[in-house]
Amino acid sequence: MADLVNLTIDGKAVAVPKGTLIVDAAKTIQNDIPVFCYHPKLKPVGMCRMCLVEIGTPKMDPATRQVVKDDKGVVVIAWQPKLNTACTTPVSEGMAVRTQTTVVSDAREDVLEFLLTSHPLDCPICDKGGECPLQNLTLEHGPGNSRFEYENKQHNAKHVPLGDLIYLDRERCIQCSRCIRFQDDIADDHVLQFHERGRHMEIITLSEPGFDSYFSGNTSDICPVGALTTADFRFKARPWELGSSPSVCNHCAVGCNTTLNTRLDTKTGINEIKRVMPRQNEQVNEIWLCDKGRFVHHYTRAGDRLQKPLIRQNGQLVETTWERALDLVSSKLLGASSVAAVIGDRIANEDAHLLTKLVNSNAKGETRLSPALPASYADLARDYGVGVGFDMKQLGKGDVIVVVNGDVEEQAPVWFLRLRQAVVDRGAKLIVSNHRGTKLHRYAAHIARYEQGMAAQWAAQTDDAALSTEELTKARNVLFVFGDEKLDAVSARGLAQILVGKLVAAGQIGKPNSGLLPLYPHGNTQGVFDIVAGTRHSGNPGVLSVDVAWLVGVGDTSDAPKARFSVVSELFMTALASVADVVLPALSFAEREGTYTSGDRRVQRFYRALPAVGQAKPDWWAVQEVARRMGFVWNFASPAQIFTDLAANVSYYSGLGYEVLAKTESQWPPVGRDDLYYGGTGYENDGGIGVRYASNPSVISAPTLPKMITSMSDLKGPARKLYQTGELIKRSDVMQTHIE
Amino acid sequence: MAEASAISKLMRIPVGFATVLKTLLKKPVTVQYPDEQRPMSARFRGRHHLKRYENGLERCIGCALCAAACPADAIYVEASENTNEQRFSPGERYSKTYEINMLRCIFCGYCEDACPTNAIVLEPIEFPTGYTREGMIYTKQMLLEVPPTGTPATPQVTQPGTFDRPIIPFPAIDSSV
Amino acid sequence: MLKDKYKDRIAAIFAKYPPERKRSAVMPLLDIAQEEYGYCTEEAMREVAELCGIDPTEVKSVVGFYTMYYEKKVGKYVIDVCDDLPCVLRGADKFVNYCEQKLGIKAGETTPDGKITLNVVMCLAACDRAPMCQVNTAYHYDLTPDKFDKLVIELKKG
> Does residue B79 lie within any of the structural domains?
yes
Q: What pLDDT score does A708 carry?
A: 45
Q: Which domain holds residue B127?
A: 47-143
Distance CA A362, CA A339 (A): 7
Residue A698 has pLDDT above 60, yes or no: no
| Secondary structure, 3-state, A498-528 | HHHHHHHHCCCCCCCCCEEEECCCCCCHHHH
* pLDDT (tens digit per residue) in A498-530: 999 899 889 898 899 999 999 999 999 999 999
Residue A517: how many CB atoms within 10 A of its CB? 27
Q: Which CATH number fits domain C2-65: 2.60.120.10, 3.40.47.10, 2.40.30.20, 1.10.10.1590?
A: 1.10.10.1590
What residue type is A184 in one-letter code? D
Q: What pLDDT score does A711 carry?
A: 43
For residue A91, what is the DSSP state?
P
Smallest Cα distance from B80 to chain A, Å: 6
User: pLDDT over 70 for what percent of chain A?
Assistant: 96
Q: Is the Cβ pair B78, A266 closer than 8 Å?
A: yes
Q: What pLDDT score does B3 carry?
A: 63
The whole-model pTM stands at: 0.93
* pLDDT (tens digit per residue) in A309-356: 999 999 999 999 999 999 999 999 999 999 999 999 999 999 999 999
Q: Is the Cβ pair B61, A241 closer than 8 Å?
A: no
Smallest Cα distance from C158 to chain A, Å: 31
* pLDDT (tens digit per residue) in B103-138: 999 999 999 999 999 999 999 877 888 899 999 999
* pLDDT (tens digit per residue) in A101-117: 999 999 999 999 999 99
Q: Which CATH number fits domain C77-157: 3.30.450.30, 3.40.50.300, 3.10.580.10, 3.40.30.10?
A: 3.40.30.10
Please say whether the beta carbons of A438 and A489 come within 8 A.
no
Q: What pLDDT score does A542 carry?
A: 61
For residue A651, what is the DSSP state?
G
Q: How many CB pairs under 8 A join A and C?
A: 41
Kindly list the partner chains of chain C, i.e. chains with 3 or more CB atom pairs below 8 Å.
A
A148-157, B16-25, B49-58, C99-108: least confidently modelled range:
A148-157
**Who among B78, B81, B91 is closest to A234 (CB)?**
B81
Q: Is the Cβ pair B63, A124 closer than 8 Å?
A: yes
> Does residue B9 lie within any of the structural domains?
no
Q: What is the ipTM of this complex?
A: 0.91
> Does residue B152 lie within any of the structural domains?
no
- Overall average pLDDT of the A252-260 stretch: 96
Give Cα separations from A668 to A244, A407, A429, A678, B139 (angstroms): 22, 29, 26, 12, 47
B139: Cα within 13 Å, side-chain hemisphere: 6
Q: Which of A184, A196, A201, A206 is the best substitution to test chain C (most C C-beta atoms within 10 A)?
A: A206
Q: Which of C57, C60, C69 is the best substitution to test chain A (most A C-beta atoms within 10 A)?
A: C57
> Which residues in chain C come in under a pLDDT of 70?
none
Residue A543 has pLDDT above 80, yes or no: no
Name the pLDDT band for A2 (thresholds 50, 70, 90): low
Sheet holding A691-692, edge to edge: A594-597, A602-606, A691-692
Distance CA B3, CA A35 (A): 95
* pLDDT (tens digit per residue) in A551-588: 999 988 877 888 999 999 999 999 999 999 999 999 99
Q: Which of B146, B30, B154, B23 has its CA nearest to residue B88?
A: B154
* pLDDT (tens digit per residue) in A350-394: 999 999 999 998 888 889 898 888 988 998 999 999 999 999 999
Q: How many domains does chain B have?
A: 1
> Does residue B83 lie within any of the structural domains?
yes
Fold of A378-520: Dimethylsulfoxide Reductase; domain 2 (3.40.228)
A598-612, B32-46, C125-139: least confidently modelled range:
B32-46
- Give domain limits for chain A: 4-100, 310-371+537-662, 378-520
Name the pLDDT band for B56 (thresholds 50, 70, 90): very high
Distance CA B98, CA B79 (A): 9
Residues on chain A touching B92 (C-beta within 8 angstroms): 125, 158-159, 235
Q: Which CATH number fits domain A4-100: 3.10.20.740, 3.30.390.30, 3.30.360.10, 3.30.1330.30?
A: 3.10.20.740
Q: What pLDDT score does A460 carry?
A: 87
Please say whether the beta carbons of A482 and A499 come within 8 A.
yes
Residue B174 has pLDDT above 80, yes or no: no
Fold of A310-371+537-662: Rossmann fold (3.40.50)
Q: Start-end ranges of CATH 1.10.10.1590 in chain C? A: 2-65
- Overall average pLDDT of the B10-22 stretch: 92
Q: Is the Cβ pair B165, A265 closer than 8 Å?
A: no
pLDDT greater at residue B136 or residue A698: B136
Q: What pLDDT score does A699 carry?
A: 55
Q: What pLDDT score does A712 carry?
A: 43
**Residue A513 neighbours by CB under 8 Å, 6+ apart:** A386, A387, A389, A390, A391, A394, A395, A399, A476, A477, A479
Q: Which of A180, A193, A200 is the best substitution to test chain C (most C C-beta atoms within 10 A)?
A: A193
CATH of the domain at B118: 3.30.70.3270
* Residue B73 CB burial class (10 angstroms; 0-12, 13-18, ≥19): exposed
Name the pLDDT band for A539 (thresholds 50, 70, 90): low
3-state secondary structure of A259: strand
* pLDDT (tens digit per residue) in A61-82: 999 989 999 999 899 999 999 9
pLDDT greater at residue A699 or residue A230: A230
